Structure 1
Amino acid sequence: MVLLAADGVALEAVYEPADSGADLSGEPTDQVPVTVVAHGFTGSAGRPHVRRAAAVFRRYGAVVTFSFRGHGASGGRSTVGDREVLDLAAAVAWARRLGHRTVWTVGFSMGGSVVLRHAALHRAGTPGAYGPAHTDAVVAVSAPARWYYRGTAAMRRLHWVVTRPLGRAVGRYGLRTRIHTSDWDPVPLDPAEAAARIAPTPLLLVHGDSDPYFPLDHPRALAAAAGEDAELWLEPGMGHAENAAGDALLGRIGEWVARRAPGG
């Protein structure tokens, strides 16, 4: 499917029903939850680790994967987490138009910051450009707590890719990611501030203690901002984002959301 974000950017998206062996298989669509997966920077709907995550989440319902702008077969250029909120809103609205009453968002790294801001900005009852675009539960994996972080070597390399002409060429031809040349204006809502606005929607924060991009002060800051309404999992030995999230962890995430989202 090709979706249109509210600003007209075309997005590739994939819908998959619940796994044939899942308990929900064969149920009416409105009784089946759907997970919308928001990948990390340089990912796409077709990347192996995104496909692997989708396969695990299909045990708990249907799955929508899509490529953020500038990634995969989607149009436009990546704004590294800013206008990507429009992309996620389009994917969530599509899932609801397909008949699903319960929608969960799971984001990794950049996608983690996007699901936080999306949940803060798209509340239940708020009309979207293409219909209701709110989520019923949020999971942010390996998400940053604040913008412009350069405290690790990995993030300094990423900033070089995003901000330098040569870096953007590396992103385009080496990482298959087309990056916007303009600075943020205005600067989007800070992830920690977004986390503080999500309640009462269930929120799960997952972070590895071996993450080379964002150290543990990031998930702890997000959890502190969200307060008692959020749950924090610090995973021993885990690295960064979907590449480091094993099937067992993804299954635990699916079970957590299934218990806490409406109808779970």
Structure 2
Amino acid sequence: MPDGRLSFLGRLNRTPKHRLAGWAVLGYAGVVCAGALVGAQILLRARSRWVPGEFMPVVRRGNDVLLPFSRETLSRGVVGIMPLLPNKGHAVLGPPEREKALVRRTVQHERGVLPHGSLAWVSTFVYNGTPMQLGVAYEDVAVRTEVGDMPAWHIPAISESDGSGERDAVVIVIHGHGGHKAQGLRALPALRRSGAASLFVTFRNAHGAPRVGRGHLTLGDREAEDLTAALRWAAEAGYRRALLFGFSMGGNIVLSALRPQHGPLALPVPGVLLDSPALDWLDVARANGRRYHLPAFMAAHMAGVVKWLVTRFGGQNFAAVDQLAAAPTFTRPILLFHGDRDRTIPVTQSDALAAARPDLVEYHRVEGAKHIRCWNIDPQKYDSAVEEFVHRVLNTGTTPSFISSEEHPHA
């Protein structure tokens, strides 16, 4: 007597092969389109209010902190921790060590108090506030753009504190997709020691910035106009040159701003710093399909649909933000960081850029680092590379030959 299973298999065997093939194609297309819709929405919209992290109780034993097992607390390298109750402070904790059912980390730097028994926010992003979390004074400023004012933090150079008013170089730091200005605060001490001022900026449709149209991102294309506006702000503030420092999508924004379609720049830009940059968005879509264990052919098809959807609804020109294709035209020295455990932006993109332009790129491929977590693995090495690069490009004695007066009419 056939059971339901055999009955089903019997009906399946009697179904014409062309009909089965049609159902398979429809099912495949449905999966691809559903995944592509989700992927396109992620690419087009990013307005997260909070810096990612986890909340947990703190056990304090002298200079050590014991925390529960979690994705953040077990992460390689350092993490940041901010107690919420009973009072606020901030600390940087060293690498993890397992202790029975807990994770032990040593306090490396502490501002305020991290008390025993407090409830705390723990994150590999380390900081979730303002430069005051590092004890650095700053001023809130607005970068005027054609779509509204972009909020920014301005940190004058240490040398400016003598009241002379002399301003030379500023490093303009721009965060990534779904990020916040706090994303770049890990590099602030190194930038301070380099002698340069800093301007931490955001861009349209990010949290805290003006919303434009439907709030869709263009993956670095139109956002580059907000960065060029930041260069104008710096020129009007008296700075004579600027370095650009981009994280993730911010790296694409930096490279897009330097391309000819965005016109002349308000200041000379003698160098660029990139951390885990998104250089090829179609490749990012493919890689994230593979991240969720899709076969390579399905991930490729899904990425193609994502590209079509993003172009259709966001008006995105993928060629305008394909920085690997544009690499032969780059002219400025680049300091590049990327972790080999990055599951968001494939490290192979930075490998390709470094291979294409060894004459310009100083590449730090960080073993064990996840997306935008290169600093966490070895803060001292990261900071040293940043300081040395800034000193090198700012102290060559002359303006690099690839910067022309036509390109920088306000310089």
TM-score, scaled relative to structure 2:
0.50
Report deviation, 1:145: 3.0
* 1:3 partnered with 2:143: yes
TM-superposition CA deviations, 1:198-222 (whole Å, max 9, x none)? 21x2112211111112333211211
TM-superposition CA deviations, 1:139-191 (whole Å, max 9, x none)? 1111133122223338978x99xx7xxxxxxxxxxxxxxxx952314741411
* 1:239 partnered with 2:239: no
What is the alpha-carbon root mean square deviation over aligned residues? 3.2
> Residues 228 and 244 from structure 1, CA distance in 2 versus in 1: closer, same or farther, beyond 3 angstroms?
closer
Q: What amino acid does structure 2 have at the position aligned with 1:233? A: H
Q: Does the CA contact (< 8 Å) of 1:4 and 1:11 recur in 2?
A: yes
Separation (CA, whole Å) in 1 of partners of 2:391 and 2:344: 30
Q: Greater CA radius of gyration, 1 or 2?
A: 2
Separation (CA, whole Å) in 2 of partners of 1:233 and 1:50: 17
Separation (CA, whole Å) in 2 of partners of 1:210 and 1:232: 16
Q: Where in structure 2 are the equivalents of 1:1-264 lying within 5 Å?
A: 1-5=141-145, 7-19=146-158, 26=162, 30=166, 32-45=168-181, 47=182, 49-60=183-194, 61-76=196-211, 77=215, 78-121=217-260, 127-128=264-265, 132-149=266-283, 150-153=285-288, 181-185=313-317, 187-199=319-331, 201-241=332-372, 243-246=373-376, 247-263=379-395
Q: Does the CA contact (< 8 Å) of 2:241 and 2:270 recur in 1?
A: yes
Aligned residues: 234
Give 3-state SS (helix, strand or coil) of 2:232's partner. Answer: helix
TM-superposition CA deviations, 1:17-72 (whole Å, max 9, x none)? 124xxx67548555542111010111122x3x333333442222210001111113
Equivalent residue number for residue 46 of structure 2 = none
Q: What amino acid does structure 1 have at the position aligned with 2:278? A: P
Of 74-83 and 58-67, more deviation after overlay is shown by 74-83
Q: Does the CA contact (< 8 Å) of 1:105 and 1:138 recur in 2?
A: yes
Structure 1 gaps, min length 5: 164-179
Separation (CA, whole Å) in 2 of partners of 1:154 and 1:134: 39
> Residues 122 and 64 from structure 1, CA distance in 2 versus in 1: closer, same or farther, beyond 3 angstroms?
farther
> Residues 28 and 4 from structure 1, CA distance in 2 versus in 1: closer, same or farther, beyond 3 angstroms?
same
TM-superposition CA deviations, 1:86-145 (whole Å, max 9, x none)? 11111122122212223111101100111122233389xx634xxx14422101111133
Give 3-state SS (helix, strand or coil) of 2:282's partner. Answer: coil
Separation (CA, whole Å) in 1 of partners of 2:240 and 2:164: 11
Q: What amino acid does structure 1 have at the position aligned with 2:198? A: V
- Where is the strand percentage greater, Structure 1 or Structure 2? 2
Q: Does the CA contact (< 8 Å) of 1:116 and 1:194 recur in 2?
A: no
Report deviation, 1:261: 1.4
Identity across the alignment (%): 27
Equivalent residue number for residue 126 of structure 2 = none
Separation (CA, whole Å) in 2 of partners of 1:104 and 1:122: 20
Q: What amino acid does structure 1 have at the position aligned with 2:250? A: G
Report deviation, 1:81: 1.7
The structure with higher relative contact order (CA 8 Å, sep 6+) is 1
Q: Does the CA contact (< 8 Å) of 2:291 and 2:343 recur in 1?
A: no
Q: What amino acid does structure 1 have at the position aligned with 2:203? A: F
Of 31-40 and 247-256, more deviation after overlay is shown by 247-256
Q: What amino acid does structure 2 have at the position aligned with 1:230? A: V
Structure 2 gaps, min length 5: 1-140, 293-301, 307-311, 397-411
